[in-house]
Amino acid sequence: MLEVRELRHSYGDIDVLVVDALRVDDGAFVSIVGPSGCGKSTLLRIIAGLVAPTAGTIHIDDAPLPTTPGFAGFMPQHDRLLPWRTVRENAVLAADIDGVDRSVSSARADALFERFGLSGFEDAWPRALSGGMRQRVALLRTFLAERDLLLLDEPFGALDAITRRRMHGWLQEVLEADPRSVVFVTHDVDEALVLSDHVFVMSERPGRIVGAIEVPEPRPRPPGIVTSAEFVERKAQVLALLESSDG
């Protein structure tokens, strides 16, 4: 279980983030939605251990967050595939950094290409891939880091609506087969509600959590859930929270 308490962050004298409490239970899928510039990426980078907060604490199972980065799998906002590495070599990057033997990590990756919709592309260069495939390689790389907690920063932000919907079904399948705890940043309210157990809504900068919506339906969820009365009602609640916190 991850717990954020009284977290503050400033860049110089600009306050970016004021998060009093945020909790991610083991195995939970939590989304954070909020307007551009409200501090979502900063929050993820702090949880990832890449940025030291100005104040506050993050606890994992009641112990302070390790001060070394790398306890969580982090997928930054842009896919950051290395153009000089093939798909397979990109997928095993975290394992390389962890010092895992390449024959071991490659075998682990090879077992997952099909599930990630990448079979046949193991030896391709990133430039030969579509946007959706690049995102799947970046996600595969994050999964292969074998951390219990995944931090995903707008992983589908660059995709068209149809590809994005496919990726939602696919991500849910992947998580069903290989469950992790996930903190998922997005500004797409539908996406957050389809994928998550809890949706936290952030205000404009400095980002505060202005509300949380629970989505009790069991995962994985069919795409048609977006037309259900409960879903439409929750979407209205999230939009109202976003509007009420505007400026």
Sites of contact with Mg ion (CB under 5 A): 40-41
Among 10, 41, 86, 163, binds ligand ADP (CB under 6 A): 41
C-beta of 157 vs 179, nearer to ligand ADP: 157
The C-alpha torsion from 218 through 222 and 225 to 231, rounded to 10°, is: 40
- Residue 221 interacts with, from Mg ion, ligand ADP, none (CB under 5-8 Å by kind): none
C-beta of 34 vs 53, nearer to ligand ADP: 34
Q: Is the peptide bond before 222 cis (omega within 30 degrees of 0)?
A: no
| Phi-psi map region of 147: left, alpha, beta (phi>0 left; psi -120 to 50 alpha) | beta
Q: How far apart are CA 58 and CA 6, in angstroms?
A: 9
C-beta of 13 vs 62, nearer to ligand ADP: 13
Decide if residue 39 touches ligand ADP (CB under 6 A). yes
153, β-bridge pairs: 185
209, β-bridge pairs: 202
Q: How far is the CB of 19 from ligand ADP (least distance, A)?
A: 12
Q: How far is the CB of 154 from ligand ADP (least distance, A)?
A: 8
Segment near ligand ADP (CB under 6 A), from 38-46, 55-63, 118-126, 225-233? 38-46
Decide if residue 36 touches ligand ADP (CB under 6 A). yes
Size of the site for ligand ADP (CB under 6 A): 11
- Residue 42 interacts with, from Mg ion, ligand ADP, none (CB under 5-8 Å by kind): ligand ADP
Tell me which residues in 187-216 interact with ligand ADP (CB under 6 A).
Answer: 205
- Residue 22 interacts with, from Mg ion, ligand ADP, none (CB under 5-8 Å by kind): none
Decide if residue 156 touches ligand ADP (CB under 6 A). no
Segment near ligand ADP (CB under 6 A), from 36-44, 137-145, 156-164, 227-235? 36-44
C-beta of 88 vs 205, nearer to ligand ADP: 205
Decide if residue 69 touches ligand ADP (CB under 6 A). no
Interface residues toward ligand ADP, by CB under 6 A: 11, 16, 34, 36-42, 205
